[in-house]
Chains A and B, each alone.
Chain A
């Protein structure tokens, strides 16, 4: 096991005291350390939002790009670099709102990426508007009559698309979260981990206490490889929020289909292009 400190998870942040992002960051450092993934061996992609600032508060190679666009650069990177671990860190607005289209197509591709979504069911950085996962009728400054739409259930969505790894964690269930993160990092394919993580400033409904009271850890006898029971579990929310690996399925990963690509980094791959031959096509 590596020292957790190599990721410098105690850096100063712009997060509020008590923010759910803190335990999440600690869990990530622990998962990486336990798996002995050195800073040379992984790269983090994020979009915009409080969660997406993670790369600034964690020693890592990183691409902190645009709002909603954490996944596309991660895929581009993944295709040309088959060796490093690729982690995506983003929030519920970033992933399920602005980035919804990329999420959908990313599940279809199944690239080898571990995606940790900080889901606090609210927009934090822009100060308290509804997110795609905010519950119906919950009032905010811009939804004074309450949220009109139904909340997006990312787990149900991902299971419905048969994503190759779908899990839900909760920052207060620290040991389980570390375990889920480790599983996701070791999973060959796209692993979506939706992580319940309270916003202590703007979400007065979904608090640490509320999540603790409304969630439960899946039994050991739950079989995440069974699609039908995964669909049922994914539906559950009001009657208790299941935590754990909801669904998993071994599938070919995106890069397997690019059999023409070298197993080395494309940047190093000495490509002997016969210039003359390519030009002669047009003679």
Chain B
């Protein structure tokens, strides 16, 4: 079973609340859910829609065909009715112009009870059409509206909607009993949770779509976590504040999107030169400049791996999905401190704003490693030098005040081992080499090979990074079911680029298909630069929307020769 619900209307009509309630209730009934927001950069009006896919399969991406459309206005009907399946339904508060439209008198019913709760009538109709019991849905509604009067109004309207129609779909029983063993969360929440459990102690950011959800998550929980969260005056302040906190020994993070990251780039290099650990979430949207604030893209890849002038060690990790976003954020903190360098979580709007059911996180396997010096075991009388030369390039890291009578000096100039400013040519070369040794060590020891699904030696190899994982995996499985020899390789570490798995899967006669959300094939060029492999096909999408499974499937069928 693979059903696709779409809720369409204008900003301010409560689409997001409906999406949250429906998604959570379906997940708690035991289904797998994938839910994605398509919204405009405005507070009221316009046209927005939420897509919720659910069933017993594995869902990682949106689908084109709609089974039930909930249209909160006339535009909602007009914009999406052509996508509704012949046996599907359209729920609409208005005249039924064709037999697929079920007229739902939501406003009229709500007028007598609570006009603000009109949308809940749609929920009732929806649940009856899907032949579901109301139990889980009622619980979710109660959690969403803690005030008792509001709860009562909503439950009354829910029942009214439920009783107004007859069941329309034969729906499979969920394969799980309830949500046990699983979670349901958005990409930004996964990043926030990953940071919280990694022990983030300081988060500063300037609000910017689509990264703001991370700031919201941490700000809301700062009291419980006992951490500092600050909305900075601009992105330059945000990243510099985080560096100050990191210098003090705290685990620090900032988050933004491409425009904000443009402002951060000088301080990004500062983190590199100062060798100060920092985690940065960069959730991409189409650019340059303001671009399309609420849309998705993977156009910042080149920019981020090359950000700031000159050369320094850094790491860029592009989480594949909501589950991966949690683990990769956790990992980013350990790596930033181990190598004393900036680590970027390179996400995008599709990842940030999509929610999915994921297996519960393996909390026992998460270990925080701080890599600070142990002040009790510092050799007696040894001078502390922040940039002491070592074999692997990693100097002992102390924070100010940690060692009595010693000072910690970090500097944005090239510096001696003490941190003191230097223009000496030998020191410059030695420091560049020291930083390069750190990069080499992390490339060798801490690079994660991409995820692979497919036969040992595929004839066609789909390759992508980050959030294209979902659509790629679904399409690979569909094509494999049809008997094609197709594999898919999804990278999360993109810089430095791991190459072993790619070299293993890509034989001389393999067709390499590189799939990405930008217009020039940045990832494909990166692969060529580091492996000398060229893409046989580039499947690029740069209209601000994510790949849907159907679209990618069709392009794989039309464009690739098997």
Cα A40 to Cα B384 with chains together (Å): 13
Q: Are A72 and B236 in contact (CB under 8 A)?
A: yes
For window 88-117 of chain A, which residues contact chain B by CB distance below 8 Å? 101-102, 104-105
CA gap between A69 and B239 in the complex, in Å: 10
> A60-B407, A77-B247 known; A266 and B241 CB under 8 Å?
no
State whether B199 touches A101 (Cβ < 8 A): no
Which of A261, A262, A282 has the most B CB atoms < 10 Å from its CB?
Answer: A282
Contact with A282, one of B193, B222, B274 (Cβ below 8 angstroms): B193
Pick the residue among B202, B266, B400, B405 that contacts A266 (CB under 8 A).
Answer: B202
Q: Which of B182-190, B346-354, B442-450, B471-479 contacts A (4 or more CB under 8 A)?
A: B182-190
Interface residues of A in 8-51 (CB under 8 A from B): 39-41, 43, 45, 48
Which stretch of A79-87, A126-134, A143-151, A221-229 is in the interface? A79-87
**In the complex with contacts A40-B401, A63-B410, A283-B201 CB distance below 8 A:** no
**Which residues from 226 to 250 on chain B have a C-beta closer than 8 Å to any C-beta of chain A?**
226-228, 230, 232-234, 236-238, 240-250
A72 touches B226 (CB 8 A): no
* The residue from A66, A262, A265 contacting B240, defined by CB atoms under 8 A apart: A66
Which residues on A sit within 8 Å (CB–CB) of B232? 72
Q: Are B182's CB and A283's CB within 8 A?
A: yes
Contact between A72 and B244, CB atoms less than 8 A apart: yes
Contacting pair B197 A65 (CB below 8 A) = no
Interface residue? A209 (CB, 8 A)? no
A47 vs chain B, min Cβ distance (A):
9
Please indicate the chain B residues that have their CB under 8 angstroms from the CB of A104 in the complex.
233
Neighbouring B residues of A71 by C-beta, 8 Å: 237
- Contact of B399 with A by CB under 8 A: yes
A137 to chain B, nearest CB (A): 32
Point out the residues of chain B lying under 8 angstroms from A271, CB to CB: 199, 201, 225-227
Q: Is the contact region of chain B dominated by helix, strand, or loop, or is it mixed?
A: mixed
Q: B408 at the A/B interface (Cβ < 8 Å)? A: yes
A59 and B407 contact, Cβ closer than 8 Å, known pairs A65-B270, A267-B399: yes
Among B196, B246, B400, B412, the one with the most A-chain Cβ atoms within 10 Å of its Cβ is B400
In the complex, residue of chain A having the shortest beta-carbon distance to the beta carbon of B355: A282
Using a Cβ–Cβ cut-off of 8 Å, how many residues does chain A contribute to the interface with B? 51
Does B240 lie within 8 Å of A73, measured CB to CB?
Answer: yes
- Please, which residues of chain B bring their CB within 8 A of the CB of A105? 233, 237
| Interface size of B as a range | 35 or more
A4 to B189 CA separation, bound complex (whole angstroms): 52
User: Which residues of B sit under 8 angstroms from A265, Cβ to Cβ?
Assistant: 248-249, 401
| Closest-CB distance, A102 to chain B (whole angstroms) | 6
* Contact for A64 among B179, B184, B413, CB less than 8 A: B413
* Residue ID in chain A nearest B247 by CB atoms: A63
Cα distance, A102 to B183, chains bound together (Å): 41
Is B376 in contact with chain A by the CB < 8 A criterion? no
Asked if A75 and B244 make an inter-chain contact with CB atoms under 8 angstroms apart, the answer reads: yes
Determine which of A41, A65, A102, A260 lies in contact with B226 in the assembled complex, contact meaning CB atoms within 8 Å: A260
- Say whether B154 faces chain A, with CB atoms less than 8 Å apart: no
B361 sits at the interface (CB 8 A): yes
Given A278-B193, A283-B184, verify A77-B248 contact (CB < 8 Å): yes
Can you spell out 18 A-B residue pairs with CB atoms less than 8 angstroms apart?
A: A60-B409, A62-B410, A66-B412, A69-B237, A76-B241, A76-B247, A77-B247, A79-B241, A101-B234, A102-B237, A105-B237, A266-B226, A267-B248, A267-B250, A273-B197, A279-B183, A279-B360, A282-B184
What 8 A-B pairs have minimum CB-CB distances, sorted nearest first? A73-B244, A76-B244, A267-B249, A61-B400, A72-B240, A76-B241, A76-B245, A105-B233
Residues of B within 8 A of A (CB): 179, 182-185, 189, 193, 196-197, 199, 201-202, 204, 221-223, 225-228, 230, 232-234, 236-238, 240-250, 252, 266-267, 270, 274, 360-361, 363, 366, 372, 399-401, 404-405, 407-413, 419-421
